[in-house]
Amino acid sequence: MHLCCFGYGKAVQSPRHEKDITTNNVRLFSYNILRSATRNFHPSNKLGGGGFGVVYRGILRDGIQVAVKSLSAESEQGIREFLTEIDMISNVRHPNLVKLIGCCIEGSNRVLVYEYLENNSLASALLGPWSRRVDLDWSQRVAICIGTAQGLAFLHEDINPHIVHRDIKASNILLDRDFNPKIGDFGLAKLFPDNVTHVTTRVAGSMGYLAPEYALLGQLTKKADIYSFGVLILEIVSGRSNSKSAWGEDLMLLVEWIWKLREEGRLLDILDPELVEFPANEVLLFIKVALFCIQAASNQRPSMKRVVKMLRNEVNFNEKLLTPPGVYKVHPTVKDSAGDSPLEGSPPEVHKDDTPVTVPSISTSINIFKMQPR
Ligand SMILES: Nc1ncnc2c1ncn2[C@@H]1O[C@H](COP(=O)(O)OP(=O)(O)OP(=O)(O)O)[C@@H](O)[C@H]1O
Ligand SMILES: [Mg+2]
Protein backbone atom coordinates (compact mmCIF):
# COMPACT_ATOMS: atom_id res chain seq x y z
CA MET A 1 0.00 0.00 0.00
CA HIS A 2 1.40 3.32 -0.89
CA LEU A 3 -0.62 5.77 1.04
CA CYS A 4 0.85 6.72 4.35
CA CYS A 5 -0.67 9.57 6.19
CA PHE A 6 0.17 11.09 9.46
CA GLY A 7 -2.48 12.61 11.64
CA TYR A 8 -3.63 16.13 11.01
CA GLY A 9 -5.66 14.93 8.02
CA LYS A 10 -2.70 15.37 5.73
CA ALA A 11 -1.79 12.50 3.44
CA VAL A 12 1.82 12.05 2.51
CA GLN A 13 3.49 9.85 0.00
CA SER A 14 4.77 6.52 1.29
CA PRO A 15 8.48 6.29 1.84
CA ARG A 16 10.38 5.44 -1.29
CA HIS A 17 13.61 3.54 -1.57
CA GLU A 18 13.33 2.32 2.01
CA LYS A 19 13.71 5.79 3.43
CA ASP A 20 11.70 6.65 6.46
CA ILE A 21 9.81 9.84 7.10
CA THR A 22 10.17 11.84 10.25
CA THR A 23 6.96 13.42 11.42
CA ASN A 24 6.31 15.65 14.41
CA ASN A 25 6.75 13.03 17.08
CA VAL A 26 6.71 9.68 15.40
CA ARG A 27 8.88 8.29 12.67
CA LEU A 28 7.02 6.53 9.93
CA PHE A 29 9.04 3.49 8.93
CA SER A 30 8.80 1.46 5.78
CA TYR A 31 8.27 -2.26 6.25
CA ASN A 32 11.56 -2.94 4.47
CA ILE A 33 13.50 -0.85 6.96
CA LEU A 34 12.02 -2.82 9.83
CA ARG A 35 12.57 -6.09 8.02
CA SER A 36 16.25 -5.40 7.64
CA ALA A 37 16.50 -4.03 11.21
CA THR A 38 15.19 -7.35 12.56
CA ARG A 39 16.99 -9.54 9.98
CA ASN A 40 13.70 -10.41 8.35
CA PHE A 41 12.00 -10.86 11.73
CA HIS A 42 14.43 -13.65 12.52
CA PRO A 43 13.36 -15.94 15.37
CA SER A 44 16.66 -15.34 17.16
CA ASN A 45 15.65 -11.66 17.42
CA LYS A 46 12.31 -12.50 18.96
CA LEU A 47 11.93 -11.00 22.43
CA GLY A 48 8.50 -12.42 23.16
CA GLY A 49 4.90 -12.08 22.28
CA GLY A 50 1.58 -11.35 23.88
CA GLY A 51 -2.01 -10.58 23.03
CA PHE A 52 -1.14 -7.81 20.61
CA GLY A 53 1.58 -9.45 18.59
CA VAL A 54 5.22 -10.47 18.56
CA VAL A 55 8.14 -8.27 19.64
CA TYR A 56 11.56 -8.40 17.95
CA ARG A 57 14.82 -6.70 18.75
CA GLY A 58 16.03 -4.61 15.87
CA ILE A 59 18.95 -2.37 15.02
CA LEU A 60 18.27 0.63 12.81
CA ARG A 61 20.81 1.79 10.26
CA ASP A 62 22.00 4.51 12.60
CA GLY A 63 22.83 1.79 15.14
CA ILE A 64 19.94 2.57 17.49
CA GLN A 65 18.41 -0.51 19.07
CA VAL A 66 14.65 -0.77 18.96
CA ALA A 67 11.87 -3.14 19.97
CA VAL A 68 9.68 -3.83 16.96
CA LYS A 69 6.16 -4.93 17.75
CA SER A 70 4.37 -6.50 14.86
CA LEU A 71 0.67 -6.25 15.64
CA SER A 72 -1.25 -9.42 15.00
CA ALA A 73 -4.76 -8.43 15.89
CA GLU A 74 -6.85 -6.88 13.18
CA SER A 75 -7.64 -3.30 14.01
CA GLU A 76 -11.05 -2.05 13.07
CA GLN A 77 -9.65 1.44 12.83
CA GLY A 78 -8.83 3.21 9.64
CA ILE A 79 -5.33 4.50 9.02
CA ARG A 80 -6.13 8.01 10.11
CA GLU A 81 -7.66 6.94 13.40
CA PHE A 82 -4.80 4.52 13.96
CA LEU A 83 -2.23 7.25 13.42
CA THR A 84 -4.14 9.66 15.59
CA GLU A 85 -3.89 7.17 18.45
CA ILE A 86 -0.21 6.57 17.70
CA ASP A 87 0.38 10.31 17.72
CA MET A 88 -1.41 10.61 21.04
CA ILE A 89 0.59 7.76 22.56
CA SER A 90 3.89 9.15 21.33
CA ASN A 91 3.09 12.52 22.86
CA VAL A 92 2.87 10.95 26.28
CA ARG A 93 6.40 11.17 27.63
CA HIS A 94 7.65 10.35 31.10
CA PRO A 95 10.86 8.77 32.42
CA ASN A 96 8.84 5.76 33.57
CA LEU A 97 7.03 5.15 30.29
CA VAL A 98 8.47 3.28 27.31
CA LYS A 99 8.95 5.70 24.44
CA LEU A 100 7.15 5.00 21.18
CA ILE A 101 9.57 5.97 18.43
CA GLY A 102 7.52 5.25 15.36
CA CYS A 103 5.32 2.93 13.41
CA CYS A 104 4.80 1.31 10.06
CA ILE A 105 1.56 0.92 8.16
CA GLU A 106 1.85 -0.89 4.89
CA GLY A 107 -0.89 -3.09 3.49
CA SER A 108 -2.10 -5.19 6.36
CA ASN A 109 1.13 -4.71 8.30
CA ARG A 110 0.93 -2.55 11.37
CA VAL A 111 4.08 -2.33 13.37
CA LEU A 112 5.08 -0.24 16.35
CA VAL A 113 8.68 0.72 17.07
CA TYR A 114 9.67 1.37 20.66
CA GLU A 115 12.87 2.30 22.43
CA TYR A 116 14.70 -0.87 23.40
CA LEU A 117 15.08 -1.65 27.08
CA GLU A 118 18.24 -3.61 27.78
CA ASN A 119 17.12 -5.61 30.78
CA ASN A 120 13.96 -7.04 29.32
CA SER A 121 10.85 -7.18 31.46
CA LEU A 122 10.25 -7.49 35.16
CA ALA A 123 8.44 -10.75 34.39
CA SER A 124 11.64 -12.21 33.04
CA ALA A 125 13.99 -10.69 35.64
CA LEU A 126 11.86 -11.53 38.65
CA LEU A 127 9.50 -14.35 37.74
CA GLY A 128 11.07 -15.93 34.67
CA PRO A 129 13.11 -19.10 34.31
CA TRP A 130 16.03 -19.24 36.77
CA SER A 131 18.56 -18.81 33.99
CA ARG A 132 17.08 -15.40 33.15
CA ARG A 133 16.43 -14.15 36.65
CA VAL A 134 18.31 -11.21 38.08
CA ASP A 135 19.23 -10.77 41.69
CA LEU A 136 17.23 -7.65 42.46
CA ASP A 137 18.09 -6.28 45.88
CA TRP A 138 15.61 -4.46 48.05
CA SER A 139 16.62 -0.95 46.97
CA GLN A 140 16.20 -1.93 43.31
CA ARG A 141 12.77 -3.34 44.07
CA VAL A 142 11.82 -0.13 45.87
CA ALA A 143 12.92 1.88 42.83
CA ILE A 144 10.93 -0.39 40.50
CA CYS A 145 7.76 -0.06 42.62
CA ILE A 146 8.02 3.71 43.00
CA GLY A 147 9.04 4.34 39.38
CA THR A 148 6.15 2.23 38.10
CA ALA A 149 3.76 4.01 40.46
CA GLN A 150 4.99 7.38 39.17
CA GLY A 151 4.51 6.33 35.55
CA LEU A 152 1.00 5.13 36.26
CA ALA A 153 0.14 8.22 38.31
CA PHE A 154 1.24 10.30 35.31
CA LEU A 155 -1.05 8.36 32.96
CA HIS A 156 -3.95 8.61 35.39
CA GLU A 157 -3.64 12.13 36.65
CA ASP A 158 -1.22 14.32 34.74
CA ILE A 159 -2.40 14.01 31.17
CA ASN A 160 -5.64 15.00 29.58
CA PRO A 161 -7.44 12.85 28.58
CA HIS A 162 -6.07 10.44 31.11
CA ILE A 163 -5.11 6.91 30.12
CA VAL A 164 -6.25 3.77 31.89
CA HIS A 165 -3.53 1.28 31.04
CA ARG A 166 -5.74 -1.86 31.27
CA ASP A 167 -2.83 -4.26 31.34
CA ILE A 168 -0.46 -3.49 34.19
CA LYS A 169 1.55 -6.66 34.76
CA ALA A 170 5.16 -7.75 35.17
CA SER A 171 5.72 -8.34 31.43
CA ASN A 172 4.65 -4.78 30.68
CA ILE A 173 7.21 -3.32 33.07
CA LEU A 174 10.44 -3.02 31.11
CA LEU A 175 13.80 -2.43 32.76
CA ASP A 176 16.51 -0.17 31.36
CA ARG A 177 20.23 -0.79 31.75
CA ASP A 178 20.14 0.52 35.33
CA PHE A 179 17.00 -1.49 36.13
CA ASN A 180 14.81 1.61 36.15
CA PRO A 181 11.25 0.62 35.28
CA LYS A 182 9.34 1.85 32.26
CA ILE A 183 5.72 0.94 31.64
CA GLY A 184 5.10 -0.45 28.18
CA ASP A 185 2.00 -0.86 26.05
CA PHE A 186 0.04 2.07 27.47
CA GLY A 187 -2.63 3.30 25.12
CA LEU A 188 -2.33 0.16 23.04
CA ALA A 189 -5.74 -1.23 23.88
CA LYS A 190 -7.23 1.92 22.33
CA LEU A 191 -5.97 0.80 18.95
CA PHE A 192 -8.37 -2.11 19.13
CA PRO A 193 -11.51 -0.57 20.56
CA ASP A 194 -14.01 -3.10 19.31
CA ASN A 195 -12.01 -6.22 18.91
CA VAL A 196 -13.58 -8.60 21.37
CA THR A 197 -11.43 -11.56 20.32
CA HIS A 198 -8.33 -9.56 20.95
CA VAL A 199 -9.49 -8.39 24.35
CA THR A 200 -10.36 -11.98 25.22
CA THR A 201 -6.82 -13.05 24.38
CA ARG A 202 -5.37 -10.21 26.35
CA VAL A 203 -7.52 -10.81 29.38
CA ALA A 204 -6.54 -14.47 29.34
CA GLY A 205 -2.88 -13.46 29.18
CA SER A 206 -3.18 -11.11 32.10
CA MET A 207 -4.88 -13.48 34.48
CA GLY A 208 -3.99 -12.77 38.06
CA TYR A 209 -3.83 -9.00 37.65
CA LEU A 210 -7.46 -8.39 36.87
CA ALA A 211 -9.60 -6.48 39.29
CA PRO A 212 -12.74 -8.56 39.82
CA GLU A 213 -15.05 -5.77 38.68
CA TYR A 214 -13.12 -5.54 35.39
CA ALA A 215 -12.81 -9.28 34.84
CA LEU A 216 -16.42 -10.01 35.60
CA LEU A 217 -18.34 -6.88 34.77
CA GLY A 218 -16.10 -5.15 32.28
CA GLN A 219 -15.94 -2.10 34.55
CA LEU A 220 -12.77 -0.45 33.47
CA THR A 221 -11.60 2.52 35.52
CA LYS A 222 -8.31 3.74 36.94
CA LYS A 223 -9.15 1.62 39.96
CA ALA A 224 -8.67 -1.55 37.89
CA ASP A 225 -5.11 -0.43 37.10
CA ILE A 226 -4.55 0.30 40.77
CA TYR A 227 -5.65 -3.24 41.65
CA SER A 228 -3.17 -4.64 39.10
CA PHE A 229 -0.46 -2.41 40.52
CA GLY A 230 -1.16 -3.79 44.01
CA VAL A 231 -0.70 -7.33 42.68
CA LEU A 232 2.54 -6.19 41.06
CA ILE A 233 3.90 -4.86 44.38
CA LEU A 234 3.14 -8.21 46.01
CA GLU A 235 4.99 -9.99 43.21
CA ILE A 236 7.98 -7.66 43.53
CA VAL A 237 8.17 -8.10 47.30
CA SER A 238 7.62 -11.86 47.21
CA GLY A 239 9.35 -12.84 43.96
CA ARG A 240 6.25 -14.94 43.26
CA SER A 241 3.67 -14.81 40.53
CA ASN A 242 0.01 -14.28 41.34
CA SER A 243 -1.13 -16.03 38.21
CA LYS A 244 1.18 -18.95 37.61
CA SER A 245 1.15 -20.82 40.89
CA ALA A 246 -0.62 -21.29 44.17
CA TRP A 247 1.00 -20.48 47.49
CA GLY A 248 0.85 -21.33 51.18
CA GLU A 249 -0.35 -24.57 52.72
CA ASP A 250 -3.80 -24.12 51.21
CA LEU A 251 -2.52 -23.41 47.69
CA MET A 252 -3.96 -19.93 47.44
CA LEU A 253 -3.47 -17.08 45.04
CA LEU A 254 -0.91 -14.58 46.25
CA VAL A 255 -3.69 -12.05 46.97
CA GLU A 256 -5.53 -14.58 49.14
CA TRP A 257 -2.42 -15.81 50.88
CA ILE A 258 -1.28 -12.31 51.87
CA TRP A 259 -4.66 -11.67 53.53
CA LYS A 260 -4.39 -14.91 55.49
CA LEU A 261 -0.86 -14.02 56.53
CA ARG A 262 -2.08 -10.62 57.68
CA GLU A 263 -4.77 -12.21 59.82
CA GLU A 264 -2.10 -14.43 61.33
CA GLY A 265 0.27 -11.50 61.86
CA ARG A 266 2.88 -13.11 59.58
CA LEU A 267 3.05 -10.63 56.68
CA LEU A 268 6.80 -11.00 56.29
CA ASP A 269 6.39 -14.70 55.42
CA ILE A 270 5.59 -13.58 51.91
CA LEU A 271 9.02 -12.03 51.41
CA ASP A 272 11.18 -13.37 48.59
CA PRO A 273 13.59 -15.90 50.15
CA GLU A 274 16.25 -14.50 47.80
CA LEU A 275 16.21 -11.23 49.72
CA VAL A 276 18.75 -11.49 52.48
CA GLU A 277 19.04 -7.87 53.52
CA PHE A 278 15.96 -5.75 53.85
CA PRO A 279 14.50 -3.11 56.17
CA ALA A 280 11.53 -4.94 57.68
CA ASN A 281 9.55 -1.74 58.29
CA GLU A 282 9.78 -0.67 54.69
CA VAL A 283 8.87 -4.13 53.44
CA LEU A 284 5.80 -4.11 55.68
CA LEU A 285 4.88 -0.65 54.42
CA PHE A 286 5.02 -1.84 50.80
CA ILE A 287 2.91 -4.91 51.57
CA LYS A 288 0.31 -2.73 53.28
CA VAL A 289 0.18 -0.31 50.35
CA ALA A 290 -0.38 -3.33 48.10
CA LEU A 291 -3.23 -4.46 50.36
CA PHE A 292 -4.89 -1.05 50.02
CA CYS A 293 -4.61 -1.30 46.24
CA ILE A 294 -6.12 -4.78 45.91
CA GLN A 295 -9.21 -4.21 48.01
CA ALA A 296 -12.38 -5.70 46.53
CA ALA A 297 -14.18 -2.42 47.07
CA SER A 298 -12.72 -0.40 44.22
CA ASN A 299 -13.69 2.96 45.73
CA GLN A 300 -11.53 2.16 48.75
CA ARG A 301 -8.40 1.86 46.65
CA PRO A 302 -6.14 4.93 46.83
CA SER A 303 -5.36 7.02 43.76
CA MET A 304 -1.96 6.44 42.17
CA LYS A 305 -0.71 9.85 43.31
CA ARG A 306 -1.54 8.83 46.85
CA VAL A 307 0.06 5.43 46.31
CA VAL A 308 3.32 7.17 45.36
CA LYS A 309 3.18 9.17 48.59
CA MET A 310 2.32 6.09 50.63
CA LEU A 311 5.25 4.17 49.19
CA ARG A 312 7.54 7.09 49.96
CA ASN A 313 6.18 7.12 53.49
CA GLU A 314 5.06 10.72 53.03
CA VAL A 315 1.50 10.22 54.27
CA ASN A 316 -0.03 8.42 57.18
CA PHE A 317 -2.71 5.88 56.52
CA ASN A 318 -5.07 4.09 58.82
CA GLU A 319 -4.62 0.37 58.49
CA LYS A 320 -7.89 -0.23 60.31
CA LEU A 321 -9.69 1.02 57.20
CA LEU A 322 -8.31 -1.84 55.15
CA THR A 323 -10.95 -4.14 53.68
CA PRO A 324 -10.48 -7.64 52.18
CA PRO A 325 -8.92 -8.13 48.77
CA GLY A 326 -10.87 -8.83 45.63
CA VAL A 327 -10.11 -12.29 44.36
CA TYR A 328 -10.86 -13.34 40.84
CA LYS A 329 -10.70 -17.11 40.83
CA VAL A 330 -10.31 -18.89 37.58
CA HIS A 331 -11.20 -22.25 36.18
CA PRO A 332 -9.33 -23.68 33.22
CA THR A 333 -12.14 -25.68 31.65
CA VAL A 334 -15.01 -23.21 31.46
CA LYS A 335 -15.72 -21.64 28.08
CA ASP A 336 -16.09 -17.94 27.46
CA SER A 337 -19.35 -16.09 27.56
CA ALA A 338 -19.90 -16.61 23.84
CA GLY A 339 -19.67 -20.29 24.66
CA ASP A 340 -17.54 -21.25 21.70
CA SER A 341 -13.91 -20.55 22.41
CA PRO A 342 -12.07 -21.69 25.48
CA LEU A 343 -11.15 -18.72 27.62
CA GLU A 344 -8.36 -19.58 29.96
CA GLY A 345 -9.54 -18.51 33.31
CA SER A 346 -13.25 -17.95 32.91
CA PRO A 347 -14.75 -17.87 36.34
CA PRO A 348 -16.61 -21.04 37.25
CA GLU A 349 -18.91 -18.93 39.35
CA VAL A 350 -20.34 -17.08 36.37
CA HIS A 351 -23.67 -18.44 35.20
CA LYS A 352 -24.76 -18.21 31.59
CA ASP A 353 -28.19 -16.86 32.45
CA ASP A 354 -29.10 -13.68 34.26
CA THR A 355 -29.23 -15.23 37.68
CA PRO A 356 -27.25 -13.23 40.19
CA VAL A 357 -24.37 -15.27 41.51
CA THR A 358 -21.91 -14.59 44.23
CA VAL A 359 -18.20 -14.69 43.62
CA PRO A 360 -16.60 -15.36 46.93
CA SER A 361 -13.47 -13.58 47.89
CA ILE A 362 -12.23 -13.52 51.41
CA SER A 363 -15.05 -12.38 53.63
CA THR A 364 -16.34 -10.22 50.85
CA SER A 365 -18.33 -10.90 47.73
CA ILE A 366 -19.28 -9.29 44.48
CA ASN A 367 -22.68 -9.83 42.99
CA ILE A 368 -22.56 -10.38 39.29
CA PHE A 369 -25.26 -11.08 36.77
CA LYS A 370 -23.53 -12.10 33.61
CA MET A 371 -20.11 -11.85 32.15
CA GLN A 372 -20.19 -9.42 29.26
CA PRO A 373 -17.70 -9.75 26.46
CA ARG A 374 -15.90 -6.45 26.08
N1 LIG B 1 10.63 -1.95 24.49
C2 LIG B 1 11.06 -3.18 24.77
N3 LIG B 1 12.36 -3.42 25.01
C4 LIG B 1 12.80 -4.67 25.30
N5 LIG B 1 12.02 -5.75 25.37
C6 LIG B 1 10.71 -5.59 25.13
C7 LIG B 1 10.16 -4.30 24.82
N8 LIG B 1 8.82 -4.43 24.66
C9 LIG B 1 8.55 -5.74 24.85
N10 LIG B 1 9.68 -6.43 25.14
C11 LIG B 1 9.80 -7.88 25.38
O12 LIG B 1 8.88 -8.54 24.58
C13 LIG B 1 8.05 -9.37 25.38
C14 LIG B 1 6.68 -9.47 24.72
O15 LIG B 1 6.03 -8.24 24.85
P16 LIG B 1 4.49 -8.14 24.51
O17 LIG B 1 4.05 -6.77 24.92
O18 LIG B 1 4.25 -8.55 23.11
O19 LIG B 1 3.84 -9.26 25.41
P20 LIG B 1 3.30 -9.21 26.88
O21 LIG B 1 3.75 -7.94 27.52
O22 LIG B 1 3.68 -10.48 27.55
O23 LIG B 1 1.73 -9.23 26.68
P24 LIG B 1 0.74 -8.03 26.22
O25 LIG B 1 0.53 -8.21 24.76
O26 LIG B 1 -0.49 -8.26 27.01
O27 LIG B 1 1.42 -6.74 26.54
C28 LIG B 1 8.06 -8.72 26.75
O29 LIG B 1 7.80 -9.61 27.78
C30 LIG B 1 9.47 -8.20 26.82
O31 LIG B 1 10.29 -9.26 27.28
MG1 LIG C 1 3.41 -6.08 26.64
**Would the pLDDT of 197 be above 70?**
no
SS3 368: strand
Note whether 38 and 56 are within 8 A (CB).
yes
Give the residue among 356, 239, 205, 228 at the shortest CA–CA distance from 293. Answer: 228
> Global pTM?
0.83
CATH of 122-371, one of 1.10.510.10, 1.10.1240.10, 3.90.420.10, 1.10.1740.10: 1.10.510.10
Q: For residue 316, report the distance from its CA to the centre of ligand 2, in Å.
A: 34
CA-nearest residue, atom 19 of ligand 1 = 50
Domain ranges of the chain: 11-115, 122-371
Q: Which of 38, 45, 46, 47 to mutate to test the pocket of ligand 1 (most atoms within 8 A of CB)?
A: 47
Give the C-alpha distances (Å, rounded to integers) separating 193 from 3, 185, 197, 210: 23, 15, 11, 19
Whether 137 is catalytic is no
Least confident of 136-145, 161-170, 296-305, 333-342: 333-342
User: 87, 167, 225, 272: which is the annotated catalytic residue?
Assistant: 167
Q: For residue 49, report the distance from its CA to the centre of ligand 1, in Å.
A: 6
Give whichever of 94-98, 204-208, 365-369 has the largest mean pLDDT.
94-98
140-189 tens-digit pLDDT = 999 999 999 999 999 999 998 899 999 999 999 999 999 999 999 988 76
Residue ranges with CB less than 5 Å from ion ligand 2:
50, 172, 185
Q: For residue 50, report the distance from its CA to the centre of ligand 2, in Å.
A: 6
Question: In terms of DSSP H, where are the helices of 98-183?
Answer: 122-127, 138-153
Neighbours of 335 (CB within 10 A): 12
Query: CA-CA distance, 62 to 42, in Å (whole number)?
Result: 20
Neighbours of 200 (CB within 10 A): 20
Query: CA-CA distance, 122 to 124, in Å (whole number)?
Result: 5
Kindly state the greatest CA–CA separation across the chain. 67
Give the residue among 164, 153, 137 at the shortest CA–CA distance from 218. Answer: 164
Task: Output the DSSP codes for 262-276.
Answer: HHTT-GGGGS-TT--
Greater confidence (261 vs 107) lies with 261
CA-nearest residue, atom 25 of ligand 1 = 50
Q: For residue 202, report the distance from its CA to the centre of ligand 2, in Å.
A: 10
The ligand 1 atom nearest the CA atom of 172: 21
169 is known to lie in a ligand binding site: no
Ligand nearest to the Cα of 69, by number: 1
Please report which confidence band the pLDDT of residue 24 belongs to, taking 50, 70 and 90 as the band edges: low
What is the chain's mean pLDDT, rounded?
80
The ligand 1 atom nearest the CA atom of 185: 27
Mean pLDDT computed over 328-350: 40
* Ligand 1 binding pocket, CB closer than 6 Å: 47-52, 55, 67, 98, 114-117, 120-121, 123-124, 167, 171-172, 174, 184-185, 202, 205-206
Give the residue among 275, 273, 240 at the shortest CA–CA distance from 257. Answer: 240
Query: CA-CA distance, 253 to 70, in Å (whole number)?
Result: 33
Ligand nearest to the Cα of 54, by number: 1
Neighbours of 320 (CB within 10 A): 5
Least confident of 85-89, 96-100, 249-253, 292-296: 249-253
Greater confidence (189 vs 237) lies with 237
Query: CA-CA distance, 158 to 222, in Å (whole number)?
Result: 13
Ligand nearest to the Cα of 192, by number: 1
Q: For residue 171, report the distance from its CA to the centre of ligand 1, in Å.
A: 6
Report which DSSP code applies to 170: G
Give the C-alpha distances (Å, rounded to integers) separating 321 from 4, 208, 295, 302, 304: 54, 24, 11, 12, 18
CATH of 11-115, one of 3.30.200.20, 2.102.10.10, 3.40.50.300, 3.30.420.40: 3.30.200.20
Task: Output the DSSP codes for 180-248.
Answer: -EEE-STTGGGGSTT-HHHHHHHHHHTTTS--HHHHHH---SHHHHHHHHHHHHHHHHH---TTT--BT
